[in-house]
Structure 1
């Protein structure tokens, strides 16, 4: 998630405002609320550029990705303790689940949507693989 989601939402709202209006000062201005669909897409880090038929599946992959990252972080925190092996095993299982869900989604969607998914989520999955390798060291 972005470090400051409020700033991200304000920046997105500024892009949606008409350009003919004079710029507002931020001292007393309140940002225009974004529609929930756009707000959710910005916070999840991916636009809904592909078919909405797969939106719930993408959300599920993102949820599993976040869960796997939390498990990896927990395992890294327990490094050099008696709990590390169990935590690392849980992290490996969660990462395998997230990567498997992403691969299954890529196999189900049409090729054009699969390319969009690879561009929007592929780096996150590579990041997950790299973080998982840190547990092996």
Structure 2
């Protein structure tokens, strides 16, 4: 049963071969690993292939490198956890906007947001310029979002 499915797939792919595309341009560096050169279905007269239809496949391997240290990564994770907590506190305060609990929950939300902002500013002040730019690009929008949500809460 497996062999018949395999043969059916090979026949289908030989009728409708993959088209080659131009090499993509990306900001992420990559390298192409090719097991064997050429396309597996470039010559449909040699059908069916002896062992596998997918012998000559190329894979793209992305090279992603960390741009900051492990300690910085731990602090970023802590800030992200506090960020999630702050958003939950703001959401709870917004839900209780016209109740007697609003002032209490708003104060909790303000305190957590203040902690997040202090942690973020402390992290930025301790980093060299290159790492600071990376952190600002990756977390800056979230911090601005938190400030805007706090502003909505204060209104």
Q: TM-score, normalised to structure 2's length?
A: 0.57
Which of 129, 134, 152 aligns to 1:116? It is 134
The answer to which structure has the higher strand fraction is: 2
Give the aligned partner of residue 136 of structure 1.
154
Structure of greater relative contact order (alpha carbons < 8 Å, 6+ residues apart): 1
- Which of the pair has more CA radius of gyration? 2
Structure 2 stretches of 5 or more lacking a match? 1-32, 41-63
Per the normalisation by structure 1, the TM-score is 0.65
Q: What are structure 1's unaligned runs of at least 5 residues? A: 1-17, 23-37, 39-46
The answer to whether the aligner puts 1:53 opposite 2:63 as a matched pair is no
Alignment of 1:8-27 (within 5 A): none
Can you list the C-alpha shifts for 1:69-97, whole angstroms capped at 9, x where unaligned?
A: 11000100111000000000000000000
Tell me the matched-pair count. Answer: 99
> How much is the aligned-residue C-alpha RMSD, in angstroms?
2.6
